[in-house]
Amino acid sequence: MATNILNITKEYNTQAKCLSLLIKLRWGKSVKCPFCEKNKVRTIKTQRGRYICKSCKEQFSVFTDTIFEGTRLPLPEWFAAIALVLNAKSGIAAKEIQRNVGLTYKTAYYLAMRIRVGMLMKDTKMNGIIEMDESYFGGRARQLKKVADNYPSISTNTLKRGRGTNKVSVTAMVQRKGIVHTQVMEKLSKRNLLAMLKHYAKKDNSILVTDGFKSYKELETYIDRLEINHSKEYSKGIVHVNTVEGFWSWVKNGIKGSYKAISKKYLPFYLVEYEWKYNHKTYRGNEFETFLKNALTHPKELAYWKSASAQKVKEVAYGK
């Protein structure tokens, strides 16, 4: 169900109303200390929305250990920005959030990145018919030009398309009529692909569909696999990777239209955003509240997320 921005801004137009919703979504009827997990707490009357735990004596609020921690931005502005991001199915630039919410560009950019962190979903195992394919992110292929002393110019260096390129490689797995998972990979080796498959897919009652990339052959040691030969055909009954290729087309068109270019360093943030939106494209519940509930389980620090993300990539790649 689409998020109605007008209803959000009317219903949650004060800090108190926003706080009440976050408290309800995070704790329900009983406030629980995030440090010791006990519910023996009392409110601090002089500071609205803050509590002190009677057991461990720590002070906390509903923002503690979430993407909202340390924010000085009023929650109604947070909620308006979240509604904008959720409704922009192909992505929304920070400049557009700046114009619509009335923020500085720096605040809008940092806010958008925190919202993307809040979109990180729990790893759910796939089953059934699963498609797997890789794609490459980087600049448009250019002709090689030479400058003084016959040294090639870095800015005009050739970027080969497809396999063998020096672009950033990303692998995606899509369950038909289900969810998608993506993973940035430094190397598309058999070992890395197999580790990702084991991490995200159940082998029982599942079939993997891939193209003819030779590294996918090793995956047959874990799961039944069907292969489509793209040199002859793109679809043969249920044997095709059109679903995952459609996902890649949507992601790349969204990046090109909304963000223009994304660095390798921050690409995982944007992939999380597109995963969330793909996985909720047919969602019939209240996506706004679902996002908030999910976001309240994630810490705010971008540095923490980047290090945690890098560690996750390493664990998936090496099967630890």
pLDDT band at residue 144 under the 50/70/90 scheme? low
The phi, psi pair for 69, rounded to 5°, reads -60, 130
- The answer to whether the CB of 251 falls within 8 A of the CB of 274 is yes
| Beta bridge pairs of residue 185 | 169
State pLDDT tens for residues 272-287.
999 999 999 999 999 9
- Span 55-67, pLDDT tens digits: 999 999 999 999 9
The whole-angstrom separation of Cα 103 and Cα 114 is 15
**Predicted confidence band of residue 104 (pLDDT cuts 50, 70, 90):** very high
Structural domains of the chain, with CATH: 126-282 (3.30.420.10)
Task: Report the percentage of the chain scoring pLDDT > 70.
Answer: 84
pLDDT tens sequence across 169-182: 999 999 999 999 99
**pLDDT at position 313 over 60:** no
- Greater model confidence, 318 or 165: 165
Q: Is the pLDDT of residue 318 over 80?
A: no
Mean pLDDT score, 116-142:
87
Percentage of the chain lying above the pLDDT 90 cut:
66
Give me the sheet containing 224-227, strands edge to edge. Answer: 180-185, 168-175, 126-137, 201-210, 224-227
pLDDT at 148: 52
